[in-house]
Amino acid sequence: MVITIDGPAGAGKSSVARKLAQRLGFHFLDTGAMYRTVTHVAMQQGLDLQDVTAVESLAAALEIRLEHDRVWANGCDVSISIRTPEVTRNIRHVADIASVRQILNRKQRTLVVRNDYVTEGRDQGTEVFPDAICKIFLTASPEERARRRQRQLLANGQAIAIEQLLEEQNLRDDQDQNRDVGRLFAAEDAITVSTDGMDESQVVAHLESLVRTKL
């Protein structure tokens, strides 16, 4: 069984999907981490990210392992290095390449064969798992998402103005919603959940009740 959670950056998908998976006894797949890993390794190897053939070869050969909250690329722990602002800024070059998306889609479909999964990303319900048993489109207003991000950063000792965060977020939304393949949109049969005014535990409980009606 596959449950998909798609939505824009900052909607809280990862932590909610992880907790939902725990409650259901499912595995959890963070597909953004896969795009981040290809981008990070490509940058580390000094590849030209505009060189489609080079990035495609890398994505095909790279062994990406996701275990609990850690990510491994060819046996190296890259859990921290895939989350830097430089990687985030460069992901679009990788995520825009149709052949790279096909390679990662295949890896994602192969992974879920053996177990039940909650998968999280941008194209899970639309492209990768069109037959998922339950599809959620998780969203929140741009202001709410930026405020949450600001609180997260502050907790890590970084004070960043809300205007700057909104600007970066709008750019990412625009890139995610307008790529030629794998663009972000809600599948026709997805349930849209707006999390404005809800805390994480309320969102998880709400999603669990939605999902359980489908199991």
Contacts with ligand C5P by CB under 6 A lie at 9, 31-32, 35-36, 91-92, 95, 121-123, 172, 176, 182
Q: Which is nearer to ligand C5P, 9 or 111 (CB)?
A: 9
Q: Report the residue number, 13 or 47, with the smaller CB distance to ligand C5P.
A: 13
Q: Which is nearer to ligand C5P, 182 or 204 (CB)?
A: 182
Q: Is 10 annotated as a binding residue?
A: yes
Distance CA 18, CA 91 (A): 22
Rounded to a whole number of angstroms, the minimum distance from the CB of residue 213 to ligand C5P is 25
Tokens of 166: 């909104």
Give the contacts of 169 (CB within 8 A, at least 6 positions apart). 8, 9, 10, 142, 145, 146, 149
12 known ligand binder: yes
Q: Facing residues of 4 across strands?
A: 119, 135
Of 6 and 204, which has the nearer Cβ to ligand C5P? Answer: 6
Annotated binding residue 7: yes
Sheet-wide strand order for 191-194: 27-30, 117-121, 2-6, 134-139, 191-194
Q: Is 182 annotated as a binding residue?
A: no
Q: Provide, rounded to whole angstroms, the least separation between the CB of residue 68 and ligand C5P.
A: 16
What lies within 8 Å, CB to CB, of 44 at 6+ separation is none
Nearest-CA neighbor of 28 among 68, 58, 63, 65? 68
Nearest distance in Å: CB 54, ligand C5P = 19
Rounded to whole angstroms, the Cα distance separating 205 from 215 reads 15
Least separation in angstroms between residue 182's CB and ligand C5P is 5
Is there a binding annotation on residue 81?
A: no
Known binding-site residue numbers for ATP:
7-15
